[in-house]
Amino acid sequence: MVLCLLCAPVVIILLIAKIYMLKKSAREIYEQFADRLKKDTNTPVCVSSSDKDIKQLADSINTQLAILRNEQLSYINGNNELKNSITNISHDLRTPLTTIRGYLDIAKKTDDTQKLHRYMDIISERTEAIQKLTEELFCYSMIVSKDEVPELEDVYINQLLAESISSFYPVLTQNNITPVIDITDEKIIRRVNKESMSRVFSNILHNAVKYSKGDLEIHLDDTGIITFSNTADEITPIQAEQLFDRFYTVETARGSTGLGLHIARYLLNEIGGSITASYQNGKLIFTITI
């Protein structure tokens, strides 16, 4: 009994010391947490306590702070990217609109039929450029905003690729591009969304028109791997890797939103496929695996 009475003050002192250390650790966490929120720093929250639960709390806070910093950085980068892209797209829309307005004013002041036809051709060309830009933007907004999972079906890839090339052939020939086509006789069937695959092929062919020097090779081998390659002297290996970035364009491709290849990768990812770009011996090569 006497021993218990003697131990009681010791236990009380230990409890008081424990409570003091816990309060001290709580203050440390509070002050450091407030400081980390104000500053752009990767310094973690540290505590002097050796208590297991307190240390676990600090670790959990550090994990959440790291997530918060990454999200904040992603937001800032995305916001800057969006601002720059809006500026570029506004410029690409404004330029043809200014041209159209200028030639309409000139057309009003002439009765020369030959000149009027020339002015109308220029206006038509500029109107088509605006249409392409707005269609790309509309397509992107529709794709990223939809919630439903794309419907999959067994698709004869050989036939779909051939149809895509055939429908795009007039555009290729207008740009002096004669494609070399090598499609395997082996029947390649893949479970994909047919509309998405058509869009992927179309966007890559559009890209070939922008960068090609007059050549384009298209291969579909027995394993189902599809490659598009063309000479593109102005592209660098680093730029090739960036072509799938949202809104990315190179200077030689002005008049583009930089969304075509980003959309292609997005659609392929949705159906379990992939697309990569590489630059080898002066050629830009896209490889699609489904």
The pLDDT tens digits for 223-268 are: 999 999 988 877 777 787 788 877 766 654 445 666 788 888 888 9
Partner residues linked to 279 by β-bridges: 284
Binned at pLDDT 50, 70 and 90, residue 134 comes out as confident
CA R_g for the chain: 31
C-alpha–C-alpha distance, residues 227 and 63, integer Å:
42
* pLDDT number for residue 85: 61
C-alpha–C-alpha distance, residues 111 and 121, integer Å:
16
* pLDDT number for residue 159: 95
C-alpha–C-alpha distance, residues 214 and 232, integer Å:
9
3-state DSSP assignment of residue 139: helix
The pLDDT > 90 percentage for the chain reads: 18
**pLDDT at 5 > cutoff 60:** no
pTM of the full predicted structure?
0.59
- Across the range 98-106, mean pLDDT stands at 88
Binned at pLDDT 50, 70 and 90, residue 2 comes out as very low
Binned at pLDDT 50, 70 and 90, residue 7 comes out as low
Handedness of CA 42, 48, 54, 56 (dihedral sign): positive
Cβ contacts of 26 within 8 Å, gap of 6 or more:
none
Cβ atoms of 59 and 232 within 8 Å: the answer is no
Residue pLDDT, tens place only, 168-215: 888 888 888 888 999 999 999 999 999 889 989 988 898 888 777 778
C-alpha–C-alpha distance, residues 232 and 237, integer Å:
11
Cβ atoms of 279 and 219 within 8 Å: the answer is no
Q: What is the mean pLDDT of the chain?
A: 80
**pLDDT at 143 > cutoff 80:** no
* pLDDT number for residue 3: 47
- Across the range 83-96, mean pLDDT stands at 70
Give start and end residues of each alpha helix (H) in the chain: 2-38, 52-108, 113-145, 157-174, 194-211, 237-242, 260-270
C-alpha–C-alpha distance, residues 99 and 124, integer Å:
11
* Higher pLDDT pick, 4 / 63: 63
